[in-house]
A and B are shown apart, each in its own frame.
Chain A
Amino acid sequence: MAGARVPLDERHVTEIGPKGKERSLPALHPERKEERSFLPYKPPLEDGSPAQVEEFLEHAQFISEDLEWLLSLPHDKFWCQVVFDESLQKCLDSYLRHAPRGLDPALLSSSPAVADMHRSLHRSMFMVFLRMATHKESKENFLTPAVFGEIIYNNFLFDIPKILDLCVLFGKGNSQLLHKMIDNIFTQQPSYYGDLDDTVPSMIQVLDMILEKCGLQTGGACANEPLKLTAHNPHAAMTMNEEDLVDLVLYLCDTCSTIHSFLDIFPKACLTFHRHGFLYRLVSFYEVLIPELEKAVKKRNFDKNLQEDLWRRVSHSRRRMVEIAHLILHHTCLQPILEGSENIAASVEDLLQSFTAFLQEKRFLVDYDEEFPVGDDISLLQQAFPHLDDTRTSYLLQGVESAWESLGRRKPHPVLPMTSHQGAE
């Protein structure tokens, strides 16, 4: 192999060809890939028969051995396999799509063998993604950053849905590593910001679709349109069949958890979300949907366990939505203000406008204020930006008080503007 300190994408290797003669090839070349035939991942069946458990174990054992083999390959061989082996990409993609999340209703079967096998697979999968997100493995083994960016993007080694899946599957315990991975991916290939820009409207579309299923929106509303009050069937959540309602709650729960984990791990994405007006859509979505869903879960006649599970999922979704709103506000407005960025006045205006928009959505505002007191942020603003219009801030704080009163809820902490505070977090 050519001397060290040359990036893999510029290296050549001398190998014995199929006709037995020596030949020189680029180190990254399809003929250097091995025929491994990775199997696509299939999740274990819940309460599977012994035969099905055995089949899962055998299937997973093949994948696990293949991934161990892949991770043991030298840097050049690893990248040849990753770039040119379609079966490997299908295997990785199938895991991201189908691996059970911690939030799924039925987790892994009770078989310890299945659980052990799954843990081993889970770790190996993560390590493969980590290696694929690393352009410099050592002083000798590295790719030119720009070429790395092209390789991962052009070959769809990572795409936005995959990155979201990675966050929700691995993010809870590996957030720092994931942050480094995703940050490196977006830094070396800024086209991912463009893809994110294209994806956020689809996320808004998902929110619209959930509302539509509940008869709360006739569809076709774009990000800046107010929700239509004259929907076809505003109480569809009460009347739709049980299976559909369960699916809807699961979908909501997954959607909120996925977006939250992504923004939590990669806060730079908050700006893209904010530019699309995601915050306003989310808040009005919350305001319209949550009371309907809560009513449906409470009033409909369910099996007790299912009812409790649905209630927990709706509560979980509520909390994640409030946190998503805070993440967006924190990273797009509060942080620039605290860091004293150039456009501090614009950030202040943006934050005040967001809070003003929240005043119309009382349920959301109260839940948000309970978790992240608006008074604290206003107080922070008053210190960071002394020219703040007092009339405007008083109006906002009164609006928050009025929202609590109108919902008949008692505020845990009174609003104390211009007092010591804990900061935005």
Chain B
Amino acid sequence: MSPPRLTGALRSFSNVSRQEDFTEEVYDLKAKRLKRQERFSREGLTWQKIVQFFTQHLEKKEQQTATQELKNILQAAKQIVGTDFGQEAIESAAVFLFKTFYSKDQVGHEETRAIKQMFGPFPASAAEASCAAVGKVVAQVGESLVEAFVQTQSSSKTPDRGEPFGRNIAFSFDTYVLDSQDTLPWLEESEEERGLDF
């Protein structure tokens, strides 16, 4: 809990701040993850496009293996997101796993963090399984081809973003602290006793 603050009192006593509306929605981590998943699902690459890509780039005899690996990715996605949000959410999660692992050999710290940030706590086995399945299916067509495909699809709906505001503004992390120069000497003799002046 924050220590008592002047500005806290001013927000309560004076009427110069917006009154808090407790009925307004406040987002938590769970809601934020859902929003992020929704946004991700609108970013261009879809599960259908991934399936189509492998269908187009593989011979018929190779397609059976690819189909099995893609099913494994979907299965892992299902374990991660659950079934509460339907097939669309599962497919979107499968796309996320595909994008996360298409150029990775194993589930590293970064990948674990990315999955957790998107979906919350998840079974490690599902991440391992999806990583392995993505690796196998990508190996069938070659990583460079997949890379080009993912880049094309992902950039199609990503809006242009400029240089962040303030990038070249010098910022200091200095902060007010209790300065030892301010600290007065500790005098045992009470000033009250010495300071009587009639």
Contact = CB atoms under 8 A, between A and B. Distances in A.
A144 interface: no
Given A127-B171, A199-B16, A298-B186, A254 B194 contact: no
Contacts of A137: 165
Given A58-B117, A161-B11, A172 B3 contact: no
B165 A102 contact: no
A203 B6 contact: yes
A173 B172 CA distance: 5
Nearest to B19: A156
A68 B167 CA distance: 10
A127 B4 contact: no
B166 interface: yes
A119 B172 CA distance: 10
A195 interface: yes
Contacts of A161: 7, 10-11, 14, 16-17
A160 interface: yes
B173 A119 contact: yes
A179 to B, nearest CB: 14
Interface in B15-62: 15-18, 24-29, 31-32, 35-36, 39
Contacts of A206: 6, 9-10, 13
A98 B161 contact: no
A371 B18 CA distance: 40
A159 B27 contact: no
Nearest to A318: B184
A90 interface: yes
A316 B183 contact: yes
Nearest to A38: B27
A186 interface: no
B156 interface: no
B18 A159 contact: yes
Interface in B97-134: 116-117
B115 to A, nearest CB: 12
Interface in B153-198: 161-166, 169, 171-180, 182-184, 186, 188, 190-192, 194-197
Contact of B171 (A37, A126, A313, A318): A126
Contact of A257 (B11, B162, B176): B176
Given A127-B169, A161-B16, A206-B6, A316 B35 contact: no
Interface residues of A, number: 89
A55 B27 contact: no
Interface residues of B, number: 58
A160 B10 contact: yes
B183 A160 contact: no
A402 B11 CA distance: 42
Contacts of B27: 37-40, 87
A160 B176 contact: no
A199 B182 contact: no
Contact of B166 (A131, A203, A258): A131
Contact of A159 (B17, B169, B177): B17
Contacts of A39: 27-29, 32
B183 A315 contact: yes
B86 interface: no
A35 B27 CA distance: 12
A199 B35 contact: no
Contacts of A97: 2, 5, 7-8, 11
A319 interface: yes
Contact of A103 (B35, B176, B195): B176
30 contacts: A35-B35, A36-B35, A58-B117, A61-B117, A62-B29, A68-B164, A69-B161, A97-B2, A102-B176, A103-B177, A123-B173, A126-B171, A127-B165, A127-B166, A127-B169, A131-B165, A131-B166, A159-B16, A159-B18, A164-B7, A173-B172, A247-B4, A250-B4, A254-B4, A255-B6, A291-B191, A311-B184, A312-B182, A312-B183, A313-B178
Interface of B: 2-11, 13-18, 24-29, 31-32, 35-36, 39, 116-117, 161-166, 169, 171-180, 182-184, 186, 188, 190-192, 194-197
Given A160-B14, A206-B13, 20 more contacts: A35-B39, A58-B117, A71-B165, A74-B162, A90-B26, A97-B7, A123-B173, A160-B16, A172-B175, A173-B171, A174-B174, A202-B13, A203-B6, A205-B9, A251-B6, A254-B3, A255-B6, A295-B190, A295-B192, A407-B194
The 7 closest A-B pairs by CB, nearest first: A173-B172, A173-B174, A102-B175, A406-B197, A127-B166, A156-B18, A71-B164
Interface of A: 35-40, 43, 55, 58-59, 61-62, 68-69, 71-74, 78, 86-87, 90, 96-98, 100-105, 119, 122-123, 126-127, 130-131, 137, 156, 159-162, 164-165, 168-169, 171-174, 177, 195, 198-199, 202-203, 205-206, 209, 247, 250-251, 254-255, 257-259, 261, 291, 294-295, 298, 309, 311-313, 315-316, 318-319, 362-363, 402, 405-408
